[in-house]
Amino acid sequence: MCRVALFLASLTALGAANPETSARAFLQQLASPQFTQAAAQFDDTMAAALPPEKLASVWDSLTAQAGSFQSVLSATTTQQGAMSVVTLRSHFEKGDLDTRVVFDPSGKIGGLFFVPAERAARWFQPDYANPFTLHEQPVTVGNDPWRLPGTLTVPNGTGPFPAVVLVHGSGPEDQDETIGPIKPFKDLAWGLATNGIAVLRYEKRTHRYPNAITPNFTVNDETVDDARAAVALLASERGIDPKRIYVLGHSLGGTLAPRIAQNDSQVAGLILLAGATRSMPESLIAQLKYMSSLHSQPTAAETQQIRAAEQLQKQVDSPSLRPDDKVDLFGASIPGSYFLDLRSYHPAQTAAALNIPILVLQGARDYQVTSADFNTWKAALAADPRASFKLYPQLTHLFMPSTSPGTGPGTPADYSNPSHVDQAVITDIVHWIKSAAEAR
């Protein structure tokens, strides 16, 4: 998971050091051994718990049981809220271990775990998806130099079928928006196709091409251009109704969906899942303050992150910002062009000017995109009888049930629990698309 950008660590990935590279280097420092250098990367809490001498003791105890470190066999990176979790499948002399290194948004290490190697958690189909009613085929979205592999999930039968393009959140997402065993976009694809709606999902450009960020990089390069190419591809596919193609955007994808639909007559309607309306810095500050409120006293690292986000807001809002300026984002360097472009974009106002039906969905336990954003959509679209809104009391940013106790916003722990997009969301989208077709 982890991605206006709302998974803070995913956004940082636009310009920060690769967490996997940092985790590999850290493990090599432990094996060297270079415990002082390794411990220097800890956040305040980890630094207090594992000073260099104690870190050395932990490593010595580990290698006494597992033998000497040999190599890294594989690496995966997932997002848990604002944290990047890198799992290194590591081969030791007597067996394999999973080394899990948790990075906070500033790149500091906030967690370290050594556990027996586990089989990778697998996605399993939700109860509402019937694989015998659909089939999938590989497709390519866009052209050189940004060709993106994707999957078209199609109901069995002759059609023509209504179709949906899925547009990712912030950060370098794969075609399923994978967070460990959680695959929200695959849930949506199979759930909707089971109900007679074709779905196109594809790798995000920054996932397929890590060096895609050019000096004049904007969200058009990151998201909008490829989403429009996906719409055009669907319109040319046999068995797809070219007059019933919808864009479903999640998080950043929801924020940008109105721009995607601007001047594109092939987009029949929009489905916005947790689309933010606030500016990126405003959302980041609110998210960081909420996370720091989850315990009695904010840590020094959390206070520093909030201050950095506030400084980011000043820098982004500055009238002197130029496209070729480098904006500091928790140590990452992002082109000023990215922020200047977003500064002039107002998603709710853009949506209100469109002449198409819009469905806005929101999880009440979402702490990344909140009721403040949902209410802005409602206010902007209040005069449009084609606009529909639905708030789900128990669902999170991923439109899955929260595992956190209580009824307020969830916590980052929600992202580590295997789950599926809630069936009510699938049902509501299916009903809305079919109703929109009947109203044409």
What are the residue numbers of the active site? 251, 366, 397
Range 59-76 burial, b when 16+ CB lie within 10 A, else e: beebbeebeebeebeebe
* Residue 267, CA distances (Å) to 238, 246, 250, 333 in order: 17, 6, 16, 34
Distance CA 163, CA 243 (A): 9
Distance CA 50, CA 396 (A): 33
Q: Tell which residue, 291, 294, 287, 306, has the closest CA to residue 369.
A: 287
C-alpha atoms less than 13 angstroms from C-alpha of 96 in its C-beta half-sphere: 11
Q: Tell which residue, 252, 208, 227, has the closest CA to residue 11.
A: 252
Q: Tell which residue, 328, 302, 332, 304, has the closest CA to residue 412.
A: 302
Find the distance separating the first CA and the last CA of the chain, reported in whole Å. Answer: 37
Distance CA 63, CA 152 (A): 47
DSSP codes joined into one string, 161-203: EEEEEEE--SSS--TT--BTTB-HHHHHHHHHHHTT-EEEEE-
Range 85-113 burial, b when 16+ CB lie within 10 A, else e: bbbbbbbbeeeebbbbbbbbbbbbbbbbe
Residue 340 burial (CB count, 10 A): 17
Strand 240-250 relative to strand 198-202, pairing: unpaired
Query: What are the tokens at 90?
Result: 């590591």
C-alpha atoms less than 13 angstroms from C-alpha of 423 in its C-beta half-sphere: 8
The backbone region for 229, taken as left when phi is positive above 0, alpha when psi lies in -120 to 50, beta otherwise, is alpha
Distance CA 398, CA 290 (A): 18
